Structure 1
């Protein structure tokens, strides 16, 4: 954690562009959260410092993000505007605590269960929501509606409400952003887009154009820490905090993949969870809003030559200096310019190529991306996140169940096995060796039950079911094995399980549902691949021969 002298200068220089670009980004994200833009600036210094000190992905910048801000704003939109900041601080603390607990509990591996289709659908919906939601501020029009799409339609349907000066200011900011996006000034284009149109508004004395100070008093200087107000605790605050935590953790995992450590050490997702949680707690203590791993700010940090974690920390320290010197200027910024910054960033975040690729992948991916996108547009963000997480899990379980494949193994020359489709019905007095690909948990076991060859109508059929590599199996699988072995026994057959892990074998014996002394034989896995299956095959063939001869149950 100590700064390295040889990298100190490079990190300090790399932190400055990030701090400058965080000024418009932080203010714009506060607008999304529905609070005074100053709180976004507070988060832009507290998040990088608190998170940077503890992250394992050293160049990751933990600061304000559009998705987290929109989720927080959705959760507190019904709170009285005067009390909304305190509710936001409490939400941020709760979200931070959840992230820290997730890291301590080592839940980092579970982020992979959120499917790519669901995440792209959610992020696309967030971007579209931002564009639609900022049209009113961009045009200076009053808009009504329960969600962003309705507000945008209201603006378009009533053009007489549009304030010409506000519209010109917003379009000028958009023009600057577009014009500078492909130049060397792209890193500071958002700041220029705030400054020049705002200066024009001041010179023209266009008082009808809304300013940041209209949203409330702008405190001067450096903020002092304070504890959140627990009286603002509510169900919407808690669910909003959980939604913010889920969004931040999944996005942070993506940032870690895109910004590997320069020395080659692997990032620890659990430690990054703790870092993002720490950043949120520190942000809330300094009256800031939710923060998380930022794709854009991390990219700026890397491009500016950041070498260690102190590049991100310096970004926060530079922001603190900017606040101390220029906090009084914040109130003069024209609101249409902030709307322009948000719209430009949201449009650039749209991933049309990825959406097109997902739509071409198949029905499951199409359902995931469209459902999540629509939920994000027309439901509160917390509900959309819940639907996205639930949909990811359902798709995972469904895919595992559908991907299950049963094949028949037949001995081939050279001590090898040949795969072929299994028979629909078992042959009489013969051994059928089966192997299974796919998960055998829950629905997977039920799918196996449907795809196993039917023993009804056969005489003394014998089945060898290969289970090598299965280190744990659930109660559903035990029930399926018990029912299938009973069906085989009813027609004079037997079931042999080969390649069984020792712990799984002990489980099958303990349950009492599987009669391992009668219709089910268990052959535990050995170091030699295929050895237990060959043993089971010999035992099954002996059984089949003796059944054909009409002998009694043989002693294995």
Structure 2
């Protein structure tokens, strides 16, 4: 019980999380202000894109950003609303309304919290690289397509197929399309060119400010964000009936899975980013990260916000801006909180097309072209996994995409392992002796598992006319229950047909399984199990010699 409590204590904040030395605090303060300024337009845009509204995006950035910074497992991770989460929430809003999102945030947060307590954080290591790249590529495509209606100043329904909605929006574009496309073009140009001229300025914020000021001065007929609350709402428990819980259980599980996957991937990417961070600041605890993200989504839901995840782009800005500790992510949340209380009037006048431009550029930047090219050119199997994952992400659902990608990757891996697993007939060691033609020596290599067991066993059955068969198992790296059972049936079949079977080199880790399925019981004699190949072959030769003399 003491060990369990100690392990649970490791998932909570500690005194070591704080470093308030002047130099460190100053670096964190500057990094937090920088990432807060960058995060502001993204929080607004993701709130709008999800269908919940810009206010929910701001609330999520503040509440979830601060909670995840304090309780999460990474010192430099920045959390809040993300494009992937907006993609998942849009169909939910269309089906159940915006009021369902805080409920899902609370439910999903509880699920992620339990997953962290159950130490499931390292499960993300089992997601193959092609699945991650395909998932990211699909999300980027959806985010871009979702912004097309706002880019052409068309009020489109939230939650439909993004490609169909984008095509319809273009065909329905009205007289203000030139204004809206002009705003998108200006935002894109500033975000792409400003970092080259003045890398210290927050390009996305500058772009939004320029377009907003221009739209006001020119009295452009563009849709705006609209009224925003001038403070955080009071926390309250969402109304949850049994029927609603049943309807939202599936979406909550999907959101929880996405929050866990994206947050852990973001933390892993941050730990490997080139920077002058010390090694202890780079390390992250995946289980504590799940606990922090679970609490963040839960708290966000109580304040009427969205589910949150770790945000790769904002985390990267945080690291590059010089963040050292969690203080930077806390400051990022406080910066956005200051905007809520002091600047909602100007923010309400931001054109939706400006936010669409920010997200379109963000979507394009999400695609890691060198990584995707590397995956596509490594093996055909990896390329297939990436393409299938991206296609399912766009056409169906993000969580289904990860599942399908994992299944395809697992199938291709099993096929590869099965091809590498073999059984070969070998010549007997030493000088040839009379009667050797009646002895067959088979060497098993690789893995004897369900994907290869029947093929390997059938080859042994068909590839000999011997009186004695020696099965050399010392090179087998893995045996599963199916493989062990196939081996037991092979031994039994050979013995029934009058062939004496000798087994050589069972590894100690395989012995218990092979004993339980009856491999040893099916041998004609208990002494037909050998550790030395020379002894096994000598026994086979003596057996053949005895048979010859008996005839």
Same fold by TM-score greater than 0.5: yes
1:177 is the counterpart of 2:188: no
Indicate the residue corresponding to 1:192 in structure 2. 206
1:204 is the counterpart of 2:213: no
**Counterparts in 2 of 1:247 and 1:452: CA distance versus 1, 3 Å:** farther
Q: Which moved more, 1:104-113 or 1:23-32?
A: 104-113
Where 1:198 maps in the other structure, the secondary structure is: helix
Indicate the residue corresponding to 2:100 in structure 1. 87
Indicate the residue corresponding to 1:259 in structure 2. 270
Q: Residue 372 of structure 2: which of 326, 336, 355 is its match? A: 355
Indicate the residue corresponding to 1:416 in structure 2. none
Q: Distance in 2 between matches of 1:513 and 1:538?
A: 20
**Counterparts in 2 of 1:161 and 1:148: CA distance versus 1, 3 Å:** farther
Where 1:259 maps in the other structure, the secondary structure is: helix
Where 2:189 maps in the other structure, the secondary structure is: helix
**Counterparts in 2 of 1:334 and 1:520: CA distance versus 1, 3 Å:** farther
Indicate the residue corresponding to 2:307 in structure 1. 290
Where 1:53 maps in the other structure, the secondary structure is: helix
Indicate the residue corresponding to 2:229 in structure 1. 219
Q: CA deviation at 1:24?
A: 0.5
Indicate the residue corresponding to 1:154 in structure 2. 168
Q: Distance in 1 between matches of 2:117 and 2:313?
A: 27
Q: Distance in 2 between matches of 1:476 and 1:240?
A: 36
Where 1:45 maps in the other structure, the secondary structure is: helix
Q: Distance in 1 between matches of 2:511 and 2:100?
A: 54
Residue pairs, 1:95-494, within 5 angstroms: 95-143=108-156, 146-160=160-174, 163-185=177-199, 188-206=202-220, 208-213=221-226, 217-231=227-241, 233=244, 237-260=248-271, 262-264=278-280, 266-406=283-423, 428-430=437-439, 432-438=441-447, 440-446=448-454, 448-449=456-457, 452=460, 454-455=462-463, 457-466=465-474, 470=478, 473-489=479-495, 490-494=497-501
1:5 is the counterpart of 2:20: yes
Q: CA deviation at 1:87?
A: 0.9
**Counterparts in 2 of 1:511 and 1:170: CA distance versus 1, 3 Å:** same
8 Å contact kept, 2:79–2:310 = yes
Q: Distance in 2 between matches of 1:201 and 1:131?
A: 23
Where 1:288 maps in the other structure, the secondary structure is: coil
Q: Distance in 2 between matches of 1:392 and 1:319?
A: 41
8 Å contact kept, 1:401–1:447 = no
8 Å contact kept, 2:222–2:351 = yes
Where 1:222 maps in the other structure, the secondary structure is: coil
Where 2:343 maps in the other structure, the secondary structure is: helix
- TM-score, reference length from structure 2: 0.85
8 Å contact kept, 1:113–1:393 = no
CA displacement, residues 291-350 of structure 1 (integer Å, 9 cap, x when unaligned):
212211111111221112222222223322232222343322111011001101001112
8 Å contact kept, 2:70–2:330 = yes
**Counterparts in 2 of 1:552 and 1:398: CA distance versus 1, 3 Å:** farther
Q: CA deviation at 1:482?
A: 0.9
8 Å contact kept, 2:270–2:315 = yes
1:510 is the counterpart of 2:511: no
8 Å contact kept, 2:67–2:295 = yes
8 Å contact kept, 2:148–2:170 = no
Where 1:78 maps in the other structure, the secondary structure is: helix
8 Å contact kept, 1:113–1:396 = no
Q: Distance in 2 between matches of 1:55 and 1:357?
A: 32
Where 1:91 maps in the other structure, the secondary structure is: helix
8 Å contact kept, 1:131–1:346 = yes
Q: Which moved more, 1:93-102 or 1:293-302?
A: 93-102
Where 2:374 maps in the other structure, the secondary structure is: helix
CA displacement, residues 443-476 of structure 1 (integer Å, 9 cap, x when unaligned):
2434543565735533322222125654xx4321
What are the ranges of 5 or more consecutive residues in structure 2 without an aligned counterpart? 1-13, 272-276, 431-435
CA displacement, residues 145-167 of structure 1 (integer Å, 9 cap, x when unaligned):
94111122223344556533223
8 Å contact kept, 2:152–2:170 = no
Where 1:466 maps in the other structure, the secondary structure is: coil
8 Å contact kept, 1:140–1:336 = yes
Q: Which moved more, 1:40-49 or 1:2-11?
A: 2-11
Q: Distance in 1 between matches of 2:198 and 2:71?
A: 32
8 Å contact kept, 2:28–2:325 = yes
8 Å contact kept, 1:28–1:342 = yes
Q: CA deviation at 1:188?
A: 1.2
Q: Distance in 1 between matches of 2:191 and 2:122?
A: 38
**Counterparts in 2 of 1:282 and 1:497: CA distance versus 1, 3 Å:** farther
Indicate the residue corresponding to 1:549 in structure 2. 546
**Counterparts in 2 of 1:539 and 1:402: CA distance versus 1, 3 Å:** closer
Indicate the residue corresponding to 1:526 in structure 2. none
**Counterparts in 2 of 1:398 and 1:99: CA distance versus 1, 3 Å:** farther
Residue correspondences, number: 519
**Counterparts in 2 of 1:441 and 1:285: CA distance versus 1, 3 Å:** farther
Indicate the residue corresponding to 2:40 in structure 1. 23
**Counterparts in 2 of 1:271 and 1:518: CA distance versus 1, 3 Å:** farther
Q: Distance in 1 between matches of 2:233 and 2:528?
A: 69
Q: CA deviation at 1:178?
A: 2.1
8 Å contact kept, 1:65–1:291 = yes
Q: CA deviation at 1:39?
A: 0.9
- TM-score, reference length from structure 1: 0.84
